[in-house]
């Protein structure tokens, strides 16, 4: 598939999606959101892809926000539709992907950019990264899951402060409060993400998909996370990966997972 605003690189089971709108600091417009949906869908369906990293082009920004010019004249109904569609095709879609998605936050992650990073399964930041949800300074609120995911990650108090002040936090504060897992110099960002992806790929991709489903269920008020875990745990017992993993352990050798 051809893309105008992103590009994909694939090597040894690792796919890297780069948002490539450097003149706009990789801001998310409608076309980019659609392209990202298609890219994630394509990689989800590709059996050879085991882990996905998403990042932004250049060294200034992961994603500096949404493209405000596209919705500045929207009315109430259009605004609600914008948020609803975006959440469905990208942000919730990424969160519920069966393949692990790592956000490599290389600079500014603001508004929709931070919301995209938070939808990923975990985040690694460069030491120049700045993160925030500045929407209230525009007379609107975060609409791509920011009011829900930020409190889950950093706690209600800090989330309320960040949203109400429209302020940014630096990479170290993001690390201290659980918003990112690691902070490294810019030149070490992609190597660390690749190393983490490699560790993930050593394990059963079938089991990882079930683990993602179970963890996400715990944050869904409509689901019983423990019940989902029990079902997912049981499902694993019927897989070739389970047979290989347990056999390899008993034989004191490294597992070679058929589903991985």
Marked catalytic residue, from 10, 135, 161, 244: 135
**135 is known as an active-site residue:** yes
Q: Which residues on adjacent β-strands are paired with residue 18? A: 7, 55
Structure token pair of residue 170:
């630096």
Radius of gyration of the chain (CA): 19
Marked catalytic residue, from 115, 161, 188, 251: 115
**34 is known as an active-site residue:** no
Nearby residues of 5 by Cβ (< 8 Å), 6 or more positions away: 19, 20, 21, 29, 31, 32, 35
Cα–Cα distances in angstroms (integers) from residue 168 to residues 73, 110, 133, in the given order? 26, 8, 7
Q: Which residues on adjacent β-strands are paired with residue 183? A: 125
What residues are labeled active site? 115, 135
């Amino acid at each position: 598939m051809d893309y105008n605003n992103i590009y994909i690189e694939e090597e040894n089971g690792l796919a890297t999606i780069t948002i490539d709108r450097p003149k706009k600091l990789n801001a998310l417009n409608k076309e980019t959101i659609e392209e990202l949906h298609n890219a994630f869908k394509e990689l989800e369906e590709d059996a050879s892809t085991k882990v996905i990293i998403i990042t932004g082009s250049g060294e200034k920004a992961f994603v500096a926000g949404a493209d405000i010019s596209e919705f500045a004249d929207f009315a109430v109904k259009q605004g609600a539709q914008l948020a609803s569609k975006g959440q469905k095709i990208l942000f919730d879609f990424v969160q519920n992907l069966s393949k692990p998605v790592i956000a490599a936050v290389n600079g500014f992650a603001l508004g929709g950019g931070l919301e995209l990073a938070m939808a990923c399964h975990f985040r690694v930041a460069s030491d120049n990264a700045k993160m925030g949800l500045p929407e209230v300074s525009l007379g609107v609120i975060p609409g791509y899951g920011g009011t829900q995911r930020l409190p889950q990650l950093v706690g209600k108090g800090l989330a309320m402060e960040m949203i109400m002040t429209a302020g940014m936090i630096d990479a170290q504060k993001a690390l201290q409060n659980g918003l990112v897992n690691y902070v490294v110099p810019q030149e070490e960002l992609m190597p660390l993400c690749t190393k983490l992806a490699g560790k993930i790929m050593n394990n059963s991709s079938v089991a990882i998909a079930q683990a993602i489903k179970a963890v996400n269920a715990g944050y869904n008020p409509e689901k019983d996370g423990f019940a989902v875990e029990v079902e997912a745990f049981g499902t694993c017992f019927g897989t070739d990966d389970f047979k290989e993993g347990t056999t390899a352990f008993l034989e004191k050798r490294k597992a070679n997972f058929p589903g991985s």
